[in-house]
Amino acid sequence: MDFFKEACQSGPYTQQTFGVCDNQNSTPAYVDTGNRQNWVATVENPAQLAVIFTAIDKCVLLDSDERGCGRCDGMLTTDNLLYLVELKDQRANWRSDATEQLQSTILFLRDHHDLSAYKHKKAFGCNKRHQAFSPIDQETRRRFFDVYGFRLDLQGIIKLPGG
């Protein structure tokens, strides 16, 4: 399982702001640099880092792969940054659904790749219907980091370091 499969990648994106989109159909998630109406998550990139987007669901992992195991929609990477992104468009249970898909993806990723080169590792659950920050209690956040090695955020804005 290659999470860095070139056929599933796009970019690099160096814009200060761009969006990550999911049409919620049989196509993979993608980056959009223009039409904000389609954005589920907004990426703020003040240092204009060269960011690669990798479509995980429906590209790295097809619907027929690993049945019954969740996977997130995509991944943003730079030389030392790896952010997983789960995109939602639902009202109920979105936090737990997103968190479970991110957890499953992290386990797949760790099983197939050495992640030690990545200084910044985060997992984002983003919901088109709930763009504001969704508080996570400190114990849950700490447990997630201790178990998976990723910081967990539930919000529609993905801030990259720098700037």
The tens digit of pLDDT for each residue in 133-162 reads 556 778 888 999 999 999 999 999 999 998
Residues 6+ apart with CB under 8 A from 144: 99, 103, 123, 150, 151, 152
Express each pLDDT in 117-135 by its tens digit.
Answer: 999 999 999 998 765 655 6
Express each pLDDT in 18-75 by its tens digit.
Answer: 999 998 888 999 999 998 999 999 999 999 999 999 999 999 988 666 666 788 999 9
* Domain presence at residue 41: yes
* Domain presence at residue 149: yes
Q: Say how many domains are in the chain.
A: 1
* Domain presence at residue 86: yes
pLDDT at 63: 66
Give me the DSSP letters along 89-148: --SSSHHHHHHHHHHHHHHHHHHH---TT-SEEEEEEEETTB-S-----HHHHHHHHHHH
* Domain presence at residue 1: no
* Domain presence at residue 118: yes
* Domain presence at residue 132: yes
Express each pLDDT in 7-20 by its tens digit.
Answer: 999 999 999 999 99
pLDDT at 153: 92
* Domain presence at residue 100: yes
The parent domain of residue 63 ranges over: 6-159
- The pTM of the full predicted model, rounded to 2 decimals, is 0.92
* Domain presence at residue 96: yes
* Better pLDDT: 158 or 95: 158
pLDDT at 67: 65
Q: What are phi and psi of 111, to 5 degrees?
A: -70, -25
Mean pLDDT of 80-93: 91
